[in-house]
Structure 1
Amino acid sequence: MKPPTAAQRRIIEAADPATGRLSGTEHQLTALVRARLAFRHPRPPHAYFLTPAGHRIRDEDTAPAPAPREPSPATASTGVFAARTGTETAPAGPEGPARAREVRSAWEGLVELRRMTNADGARDRPCAWERTHLVQAAALVLEASGRLPAAPGRDGYRVADTPQPEAVAVRDPAPDGLRACAAALERAGWQTSEHAGARAAGRYLLASPRRT
């Protein structure tokens, strides 16, 4: 496969980090499809998304020098979507219907990515992208389910990396918060187990993408 051109790399680098959705002219996007770096959604509005090969190129090109492990929040200034993990230190950005639409679109894109990249076309089982973006993927599941991330003055879920491979830690101190988070993740094809935190850290979930 020929390496992408500089112009194609710029389009790939600008893809939505959560869903891989692309922006560009029809000619540019069609060329990426021919190069097997993108696919066209079969339903209107027929958006274009990165294939696994496109994601690999994007990850290689955008891999930063050591940086915070958690994704940044979506901001109006960048227009880039990122699921909220509840660990953000920057302002969370707009709430309300606009955010709900962004989350719904990101989730629908992720389900379509599952269909396109899972060998059996399964929509109810996490795909390879989710297993390489664990924190962001789990946070998207929770936000799409209607759970609220932690914020100043508000309890909510927090998703963080763990030393364990393919596992994230989820905390939610709200009444029945862990139970609701576990139910949302399991509906989305994740497996969860509840554990007691060290000292006074409270209970938390270990969550990992189901493979079968």
Structure 2
Amino acid sequence: MSRPPTAAQRRVIDAADPVTGRLKGTQPQLAALVKWGFAFRHPRPPHDHFLTPAGHRIREAEQPATPTPETGTPAAPGVFAARVGGEEEPPDTGPARAREVRSAWQGLLELRRMTSADGVTDRPCGWERTHLVQAAALALEAAGHRPAGPDPAGYRVRGTPQPEAVSVHEPDPEALRACAATLEGAGWQVGEHTEPRTRARYLLASPRRA
């Protein structure tokens, strides 16, 4: 059973870490979010609280004007989003962006560790399964692959009609194979396919479960 969160609870949800969904708030606020299904308390110390998929949906619904990463448009200022490729602006490769990406990837590995039963970090977590495009793009960007900008060179990650699968497009065959190796190392199952109309090669990637 659930209900819309209060204004105070919405502020806590909106302030959650954009990658891990880790929450900060008073104990009554966090307990209420758990009660209504918007958060869960991790069973291992330090017993942090994280958004559930329902909590992520609430936060995203509260920001309807923010473009989604799947569209290839920039996120709102101050909100981290992995570069999925095809954004209108050339990709930022400066040191500040590198620090943001590194921090986001480390936060995602920590989320994997805290939310897996055996504490491993080599398999995608629940957040990644509900944010497939951004999760795959973060793995690629964190490994140093270059996202496509206005020009076609670089990777593009897109959603697909298949459950739990994204497509990765990269015009350079060698770079495409490197993307496949990176995703496999990050816990994704990857297969290379040919687009029937254009004969272009692309990847289909899905989070590995075991």
- Aligned-partner SS, 2:141: helix
- Aligned-partner SS, 1:159: strand
Q: CA deviation at 1:60?
A: 3.0
Matches within 5 A, 1:1-212: 5-22=6-23, 28=25, 30-31=27-28, 34=31, 36=34, 37=39, 51-53=50-52, 55-63=53-61, 64=64, 69-70=70-71, 72-74=73-75, 78-89=77-88, 91=89, 94-153=92-151, 155-200=153-198, 202-212=200-210
- Aligned-partner SS, 1:204: strand
- Shift in alpha-carbon separation, 1:72–1:15, aligned structure 2, 3 A: farther
Of all paired residues, the percent bearing the same amino acid is 58
Q: How many residues align?
A: 199
CA contact (8 A) 1:71 1:136 kept: no
Return 5+ residue gaps in structure 1 as ranges. Answer: none
TM-score with structure 1 setting the length: 0.79
TM-score with structure 2 setting the length: 0.80
- Shift in alpha-carbon separation, 1:2–1:187, aligned structure 2, 3 A: same
Q: CA deviation at 1:95?
A: 3.4
Structure 1 residues 91-143: Cα deviation after superposition (integer angstroms, max 9, x where no partner): 35743110001001110111111111122222110111111110010000000
CA contact (8 A) 1:193 1:207 kept: yes
Q: CA deviation at 1:50?
A: 5.1
- Shift in alpha-carbon separation, 1:122–1:79, aligned structure 2, 3 A: same
- Aligned-partner SS, 1:51: strand
Distance 1:96 1:110 in 2: 21
Q: Say what the alpha-carbon RMSD is for the aligned residues.
A: 3.1
